[in-house]
Structure 1
Amino acid sequence: MPEHSISRARALGTRWLGVGLAAVIAVVTLGLGVTGRLTLYISPESVWFACAAAVVTIAGAIWSCTLPLGAEGDHGHDHGTAGDVSSAASSDPGDPASEGADAPPRAARPSLAGVGAVAGGVIATGVVAAALVLPPASLSVELAMSRAGEQTALFAGSDTVALGVADTSTFGVGDWASVFAAATNTAAYDGATVKLTGFVTPDAADDDGVNLTRLVITHCVIDAQTAALPVSVDPSEYPTGQWVEVTGTVRADTDGKLRIEPSDVIAIEEPGDPYEY
């Protein structure tokens, strides 16, 4: 293959692995933001920032297309010609490089670097292609179950909950999970009414029980934590992963543990925003 064609192909590859992939990700981000599905990956408060960054990235990609191919490798100085390098090397007879001592390693390095670049490019392209082809989806029930017990989902007023003086009227699954885990005066919550949405998972502490579970995220799905509440429901009535809306009452058992005693449980479809924040 002519050297000019090789250089052109290398320049195209460099541009694709740089602004090309970034532009595709930016377009996907904007598409998810416009359709309201970006919250499947990040918190609603971060959507505006992600979309603004995507717009800037697309603008930069468009601008980069005005540059000639290969400009990415131009550092603003002359690297010299092959003849200059050869002449400089031969001018110092004491230099091992001039005697060809390092010839095999020098020949091997570009080959290994090229293989690494191609492999990285294929992987990166595959990831971006998956983002384009695969439909956006929420984190799986299996992931939520695997993270259960790693860390109790806390909300800003956790200290107030421990004192037993919190207003629970707006609590979600994550907030109540903090209460169940940290409240020192559980009797103060006995009789509180709740209406919560989550999915069913097995209760690890009770083979005959189930939990109402929800994933709580702070910034994005990477930091998702599992919040689970024990609910007095027959495990055979709802399969693992079934989304339900539970209306009921918080009850404090004689051993000081809290649970939800439902008055109504309705099976529902997964909500458009499956997370709590």
Structure 2
Amino acid sequence: MIRVAIGGPRGKMGQQAVHTIMNNENMELIAVLDHKEIGKVLSEFPGFPASYDIPVFLDLESLIFSTKPDVFLDLTTPHQVFEHTKLCLQSEVRPVIGTTGFTDEQLQQCKVLSEKYQVGCIVAPNFAIGAVLMMKFAAMAAAYFPDVEIIEMHHDQKLDAPSGTAYKTAQMIAEVRPLHKQGHPLEEETIAGARGASYDGIPIHSVRLPGLVAHQQVLFGGDGQLFTLRHDSFNRQSFMSGITLSITHVMDLKELVYGLENII
């Protein structure tokens, strides 16, 4: 039985994850972490049944000391995730990170800590299996279509842009794509930002609108053709299979894995 703690249980993703872990016969939800006082147990918060008598902590260090989880599933915010991950690794708790917002430097620090303490860690820009396959296929296509743009679309409450999925997609494409600037060499933006952000010359465009969940298109242009890869998550259930896979798999790791494409 894998002992799991969840950070961010009240968010839309967090609530779905709570129900998923509670209904998994191989996992036990032993604690949750919240940033504000919502009650002593999770059942005191609206939306959770009376049987969810899971203790609520306001401090991760106290949670780890009191409940000793095997895995900490972090679904909090980009502002908290780095410190949470460091503390977990130093405490020999395996982090599974579904919160995006890591810088390259922070990710490298976590890799060093994971290797030092021999504690597994999974950082997943996207838990949806279809999105992971989209990223893998994009890297394959980039070897043949070097001109590419990424359009990612998320709900308007998302805190970071571009999304972790778009950033990871660009990284994977850049590994096989010759570095070059796309478009006309004399191209000018008459409105700053019109061509989007740029990762190694790959334009990334972020859309934030109510009604969206998580969506991404990767567009490849060639002579007389356009090749498009697209993935849509219509609800948070699409992420749950990746979460359970990650929690199970991280138990066998002794290093940090960045992206589920490395384990499927």
TM-score range, shorter chain: under 0.3
Structure ranking higher on relative contact order (CA contacts 8 Å, 6+ apart): 2
The answer to which structure has the higher helix fraction is 1
The answer to which structure has the higher strand fraction is 2
Larger Rg: 1
Normalised by the length of structure 2, the TM-score is 0.22
Normalised by the length of structure 1, the TM-score is 0.21
